[in-house]
Amino acid sequence: MRDRTPEGDVALRPVRTGTAPADRITGWIAVAVFLLAWELLCRALDVSSLYLPRPTQVAVALYDLFVHKQALSDLAVTLYRIFGGFAIGMVFGVALGLAMAVSRRLQSIADVFIAALYPLPKITLIPLLIIWLGTGGPFMLTISALGALFPVIINTLLGVRQCDPGLVMTARDLGASERQIVRHVLLPAAIPSVFAGARLGLGVSIILVVAAEMVVGKLGLGARLYLAGQVLETETVFAVLVVLAALGIAVTKALDAVDALTGKWRA
Amino acid sequence: MGGNLQTSSEGAVHPEIRLEGVSLVYEAGGSQVLALDDLHCRFAAGRVTAIIGPSGCGKSTMLQITRGFMPASRGTLSFVGPDGQPMPRPPRMATVWQSFNLFPWRTIEDNVAFGLEMAGMPAAQRRVRAHEALRMVDLGGFERKYPGQLSGGMRQRVGMARALVMDPEVLLLDEPFGALDAQTRLVLQEQLAAMVERTGKTVLLITHSIEEAVLLADTVYVLTARPGRVAAEVQIDLPKPRSIASTHDARYAGYFERIYGLLKSEVLRSMHGEAGGQA
């Protein structure tokens, strides 16, 4: 298995989408055709921009949003909430997952709570958290951290469990203490799985922060979206959706880059 | 090719290892299984002792007990110093594993330096030691590569360097060449035989290869099929250093046949035992 030639390895993999330049051009042409058809159909059928604004109107709204309506600060606030909470969730998730993997007692305690809380849609915790924390920064960071926490705990736990027992025995043979085994063997062995959990968790954090902002309706992209919808500024609704989609793409690309860096773990 | 890998450091003691009446019983499915039965073995100081036996006879378990990773159910394990007295401390030991067990996220030099790093040696110093060890196994220039970039034979040379850099007083070899192809195995056996000869360490070799046992060892213990008992102790009296040319020695054929004869009856017995178990 391990001695397969690199060429053979590549040939066995399914075709990856959107990597070759030709594929990328095809994709962009499709997007352009779609936007053009949207624009022309709206004009031809005289669709009210209240229901479906034309792409050009969305573009104008997007420009307006950032140049005249300080949407940049909303974007910054939303990003801070997502990544601040996500970072907190990561730290606690990795620490708890690792501790659970090492301590049988802690695991049996935590298992019960995780079994109860994991299937619960975290969005349903918004009303309770508002009662406890109000609608400010601590609330937003908490809801974001909760989104990341569970996927990271579970994937860290899985990653440590999948660690080759031979590596642990080798480390012990070379004089590593239990603490050193956790730090230098179990944690690095779990890294690919931890990143898989981070990927899932970040997705949940984004959803929860935007949803919480829509509920609170003060600051952030979610608030912009909700308020624009309330006053039927449909172009602005679309403009915010474009920003959120772009954010999603940027995050996915960044995670792909991190994934490539951890590739050597799987050798 | 200098340094403290060939001549052991100050204060190193190469002990004789004694297993006296060692048995191992473990629980499986509510019943007691006897894995090792009343073993009496002496692994002579500064010599190579091979343990050979049919699959599942408890060879690797014996190594685990010797390493101190697994307590024996009965019997005693002792390390005897050159003065004939039990050592006041357990000897430094290091293992070379059949499945290499390299850390895939560490570079080759960081793999070799792992034990030194755990012991708190400063980075610059342990790098020097790791590079020296890698040169000894002819892997100079591969320091910054990752295990995934190396062939099986190269990985096991890293495994050997990683154990030897610890300057162990007892070197444990757990079927070290079992996962390698026949040619690579021959070359590494010769290299290891020469290296072990120079260092004068007490070496315990677990193997299922008669050729490997006869080429490397001074004493071969043949174990029976489960439960593992000592079927015979064979002293190998062939001149050293040994190489593939030693297989032309008339005595080599004698040793090979003797051990093969003992093993064959044990393998057949264990095969019949399995067939009986399935019926």
- Chain B contacts of A167, Cβ < 8 Å? 101, 103
Instruction: Check: CB of residue B20 under 8 Å from CB of residue B40.
Output: yes
Answer yes or no: is pLDDT of B16 > 60: yes
Q: Check whether B236 has a pLDDT greater than 70.
A: yes
Q: Is pLDDT of B277 > 50?
A: no
**Given 3.40.630.10, 1.10.3720.10, 3.60.15.10, 3.20.20.370, which CATH number is that of A53-266?**
1.10.3720.10
CA gap B165, B173 in Å, rounded: 15
CA within 13 Å, CB half, B157: 22
Please check whether residue A226 is in contact with residue A213, taking contact to mean a CB–CB distance below 8 angstroms: yes
Does residue B274 lie within any of the structural domains? yes
Q: Is there a contact between A223 and A74 (Cβ–Cβ < 8 Å)?
A: yes
Residue B156 within a domain: no
Write down the pLDDT at residue A10.
Answer: 41
Residue B72: closest CA among B44, B34, B98: B34
A185 touches chain B (CB under 8 A): yes
CA B161 and chain centroid, separation: 14
The arithmetic mean of pLDDT across residues B196-203, rounded, is 84
pLDDT at A266: 58
Q: What is the pTM of this model?
A: 0.80
CA A91, distance to chain mean position in Å, is 15
Structure-token pair, residue B193: 């035989």
ipTM over 0.95: no
What does the pLDDT read at residue B1?
39
Nearest CA to B42 among B197, B221, B236, B226?
B221
> Which residues fall within 8 angstroms of residue A190, CB to CB, at 6 or more apart?
A97, A98, A101, A156, A158, A159, A160, A162, A163
The pLDDT assigned to B54 comes to 84
pLDDT band at residue A4, thresholds of 50, 70 and 90?
Answer: very low
Total length of chain B? 279
Question: Percentage of chain A with pLDDT > 90?
Answer: 46
When CB atoms are compared, the residue of A172, A177, A264 closest to B105 is A264
Residue B2 lies in a domain: no
Range A183-207 average pLDDT: 91
Q: Is B151 on the interface with A (CB under 8 A)?
A: yes
Q: Pick B95's closest partner by Cβ from A167, A173, A176.
A: A173
Contact residues for B264 (Cβ-Cβ < 8 A; gap 6+): none
8 A C-beta contact, residue A228 and residue A236 = yes
Instruction: Judge contact between A109 and A167, C-beta under 8 A.
Output: no
- Nearest 5°: phi and psi at A219? -125, 155
Q: Could you say which of A172, A175, A265 has the minimum Cβ distance to residue B104?
A: A265
Closest to B167 in 3D by CA, of B1, B2, B34, B4: B4
What is the distance between the alpha carbons of residues A224 and A233, in angstroms, rounded to a whole number?
10
Nearest Cα of chain A lies from the Cα of B231 at a distance, in angstroms, of: 29
B180 in a structural domain: no
Residue B52 lies in domain: 14-88+202-279
Residue B92 gets which letter from DSSP? Answer: P
- 3-class SS of residue B171: strand
- Of the two residues B192 and A149, the one the predictor is more confident about is A149
Q: Using 50, 70 and 90 to split pLDDT, how confident is the model at A6?
A: very low
A225-252 pLDDT, tens digit each: 999 898 988 989 999 999 999 998 898 8
Please report, for chain A, the start and end positions of each structural domain, with discontinuous segments joined by +. 1-46, 53-266
Q: Which pLDDT score, from 0 to 100, does residue A5 have?
A: 42
A78 in Cβ contact with A210 (< 8 Å):
yes
Structure tokens belonging to residue B3:
């340094």
> What is the mean pLDDT of the segment spanning B54-59?
81
CATH of the domain at B70: 3.40.50.300
Average pLDDT over residues B184-202: 83
Indicate whether B234 belongs to any domain.
yes
How far apart CA B97 and CA B247 sit, in angstroms, is 26
| Closest in B101, B119, B151 to A166, CB measured | B101
Chain A hits for B118, CB-CB cut-off 8 Å, are 171, 174-177, 180, 184
Which tokens hold the place of B162? 């990683």
Token digits of residue A17: 């989408």
Q: Does pLDDT of A46 surpass 90? A: no
Q: CB within 8 A of B10, min separation 6: which ones? A: none
Does A164 sit within 8 Å of B105, measured CB to CB?
A: no
Report the amino acid identity of residue A94. V
Six-digit token pair at A26? 């095809």
Where residue B275 falls among pLDDT bands split at 50, 70, 90?
Answer: low
Taking residues A201-221, what's their average pLDDT?
Answer: 90
Residues of B in contact with A174 (CB under 8 A): 94, 114-115, 118, 162, 166
The distance of A14 to chain B (nearest Cα, Å) reads 22
CB contact under 8 A, B118 and A171: yes
Q: At A217, which amino acid appears?
A: G
Q: Is B68 on the interface with A (CB under 8 A)?
A: no
Domain presence at residue B217: yes
Q: Which helix (H) or strand (E) holds B75?
A: strand B74-80
Arithmetic mean of pLDDT, A129-135: 89
DSSP code, position A186: I
**Nearest partner of B103 among A178, A94, A156, A264, judged by Cα:** A264
Q: What is the mean pLDDT of chain B?
A: 86
Tokens 């430094």, located at residue? B92
* Count of the separate structural domains present in chain B: 1
Whether B66 contacts chain A with CB within 8 A: no
pLDDT digits (tens, 9 = 90+) for A90-110: 999 999 999 998 888 888 888
- pLDDT confidence of residue B268: 81
- Please, which residues 38-97 of chain A have a Cβ atom closer than 8 Å to chain B? none
Amino acid at B157: R
Mean pLDDT in chain A?
86
Helix or strand or coil: residue B206? Answer: strand
B94–A266 CB contact, under 8 Å: no
The length of chain A is 267
Token digits of residue A209: 């922060």
